[in-house]
Amino acid sequence: MTKLAIAINLERCTGCNTCTMACKMQNNVPDGMLWNRVILEGCDSEFGAQGEYPNLTKRFIPVACQHCENPACMKVCPTGATFKDDKGRVEIDYDKCIGCRMCMAACPYNARVFNWNEPVRSTGFNYGHKDVPVRPKGVAEKCTLCKERTDAGDVPMCVRCCLSEARVYGDLDDPNSEISQLIASKNAYVLLPEKGTKPQVHYFN
C-alpha cells in the first residue's frame, strides 16, 4: 500500500505564504479562494504575537486538506464525489459533486472552499498545471496533494517551493522513508486528534 502525506516543521515555517501562492498557481485556484492557508497559532495581541515585549514570539501553522485516513467529508458525501484513492489521498470527482456542501460542514479543518459564482482567475486564462481540472461554479474544492505532480513522481508544489524547507513529503507506509522516520523521531502530532479522522498531515517542532 501507499499512503502519501506531508510533515511540516513548525520551527522552520516563517509564515511567508509561498506555499499558499504556489498552490494557488499550480492548481488554478480562483480569486478569493485558497486551498492552502497559513494561520497564526493562538495569538493574544493585535499584532499576532504571543508574550510580552521584548519576549514576543509567533508560530505559524499551515493548514490544508489533511488527507485523513478516516475522512469525515467522505462519510457524508451523498454521491461518492469524495473518495480515497489508492495512494491515500482524499480526492474529489467534480462530475459527481452536486454542491450540497455537506463535506464542508463535516470537515473539522475547514479545508474546503466553494465556487458560489463562475470562477474568476486574475490572469484571464488557466495558469495551472495543464492536467489540473478546471472547477466550475457550484462545486467544492480543496488540496489534492498536487495529484497531477505526485502521480508523475514529483512532490507537491507547496513542498517544492517552501523557502525554509519546512515541508517533507513521502509515503507513510514506507518505514524507511524520510517522512516516516521524521514522524517517529520528532514525536510529530496531528491536528484535532480527538475528531478521529486520523490526518495524514503531521506537524513537528
pLDDT in tens, the chain (205 residues): 899 999 999 999 999 999 999 999 899 898 889 999 999 876 544 456 677 777 777 789 999 999 999 999 999 999 999 999 999 999 999 999 999 999 999 999 999 999 998 877 665 555 677 888 889 899 999 999 999 999 999 999 999 999 999 999 999 999 999 999 999 999 899 999 999 999 999 999 8
Peptide bond into 54 cis (omega under 30): yes
Helix (H) or strand (E) holding 141: strand 140-141
DSSP-derived 3-state class of residue 39: strand
Q: What is the pTM of this model?
A: 0.90
- CA dist., res. 29 & res. 121, Å (int): 7
Distances, alpha carbon 194 to alpha carbons 57, 70, 88, 176, 199, in Å: 27, 12, 21, 28, 11
What's the first-to-final CA gap in the chain, in angstroms? Answer: 28
CA angle 27, 30, 35 (to 5 degrees): 55
